[in-house]
Amino acid sequence: MSRANDNTGFFYTLPALLVLMFIVVVPIMVVVNYSVQDVFSGNIFIWAGSGWFEKTLTSPEFWATLGRSALFTSLVLAVEIPLGVFIALKIPKSGWMATFYIIVMAIPLLIPWFVVGLIWKVFADPAIGPLGGALAGLTDAYDLNNPLVAWMVILLVDVWHWTGLVVLLSYAGLVAIPEALYQASRIDGASRGAIFRYVELPRLRHVLLIAVLLRLTDSLMIYIEPFMITRGGPGTSTTFLSMDLIQTAMYQFDFGEASASALIYVLIMLTLSWALFSALMKRHD
């Protein structure tokens, strides 16, 4: 698609830009303001300079939380991306079965996150849920007070909730591949593996980058599900970045410290997103 070199194009984006400025840039400025001050009772401000940043960056809890979130996100990507692609490959390209699968994949995405937490809190409960009950009957090791079990359950919830998105994206990429390419590779005697490696995977690159971008940023900031299911415990073993942030701001009223951590998170997010976005845009310019 050729595009005209014309700077008036900018003006078309202005309404959307203004809305996003209002909702993102103004609050971020407030966060920046807080992050360099000590706030007492919400209206007394004392200049703190880089104090909160130093405190955050030297705190072992901050690094532990960041590490937990990074590990969780890695596990989420390692499970959901291959699983999503695999399921998408197995869904027929057309017909009522295809429509049925598409609808099923979309349904978990449409459930309020709190309700997802509620569903799984019950479903995985050893006393009142069928999955929890079955697992607890099989082995004594099924105990949500065991950090490993708590992690497995939250990971399972995330897979249940979000693999459908990866499937939908991959499926969209797959149906866009012309049938002629498959025919050509069959004539060449390519194996199923070779077709995937040389025909399908290169054309899935862009949708997969989008899937990684969305799952990476959303899973780093997972909040409701662990809050509902484990309350961040046992101990702090399932306390991830967002929960840590909300606890610091809402329950300890450390606005300065929370804002400094918040800015560090935003910077991490922006760096990761920019790296992925650059890879994504290579095709175009």
Show contacts with other proteins in window 243-282 (CB under 8 A).
245-246, 249, 255, 258, 262-263, 265-266, 269-270, 273-274, 277, 280-281
Site string for other proteins, 79-118 (x = CB under 8 A): -------xx-xxxxxx----x-xxxxxxxxxxxxxxx--x
Do residues 144 and 238 lie in contact, with contact meaning Cβ atoms separated by under 8 Å?
Answer: no
| Residue type at position 30 | V
* Residues belonging to the chain: 285
Contacts of residue 194, defined as CB under 8 A and 6 or more positions apart, other chains included, come to 185
Site string for other proteins, 37-66 (x = CB under 8 A): ------------------------------
Contacts of residue 109, defined as CB under 8 A and 6 or more positions apart, other chains included, come to 161, 162, 164, 165
Residue 44 beta carbon to other proteins: minimum distance, rounded to whole angstroms: 15
Site for other proteins in 161-200 (CB under 8 A): 163-164, 168-169, 171-173, 175-176, 182, 186, 190-192, 195
Residue 146 beta carbon to other proteins: minimum distance, rounded to whole angstroms: 18
The sign of the dihedral angle between the CA atoms of 26, 30, 31, 33 is: positive
Q: Which residue, 64 or 102, is less far from other proteins as judged by CB? A: 102
Six-digit token string for 187: 């004539």
Please compute Rg for the chain using Cα positions.
23
Residue 197 beta carbon to other proteins: minimum distance, rounded to whole angstroms: 14
Per DSSP, what are the bridge partners of residue 37? 47
Site for other proteins in 7-36 (CB under 8 A): 7-13, 15-17, 19-20, 22-24, 26-28, 30-31, 34
Q: Which of 64, 70, 131, 181 binds other proteins (CB under 8 A)?
A: 131
Closest to 177 (Cα-Cα) out of 246, 264, 114, 93:
93
Q: Which of 52, 85, 121, 208 binds other proteins (CB under 8 A)?
A: 121
Q: Which residue, 60 or 112, is less far from other proteins as judged by CB? A: 112
Size of interface with other proteins, in residues (CB under 8 A): 109
Phi, psi of 40 (to 5 degrees): -115, 135
Do residues 83 and 166 lie in contact, with contact meaning Cβ atoms separated by under 8 Å?
Answer: yes
Do residues 95 and 105 lie in contact, with contact meaning Cβ atoms separated by under 8 Å?
Answer: no
Q: Does 140 bind other proteins (CB under 8 A)?
A: no
Do residues 211 and 82 lie in contact, with contact meaning Cβ atoms separated by under 8 Å?
Answer: no
Residue 124 beta carbon to other proteins: minimum distance, rounded to whole angstroms: 9
Do residues 45 and 176 lie in contact, with contact meaning Cβ atoms separated by under 8 Å?
Answer: no
Residue 52 beta carbon to other proteins: minimum distance, rounded to whole angstroms: 14
Residue 212 beta carbon to other proteins: minimum distance, rounded to whole angstroms: 12
Give CA–CA dist 95/143, Å, rounded.
44
Residue 245 beta carbon to other proteins: minimum distance, rounded to whole angstroms: 5
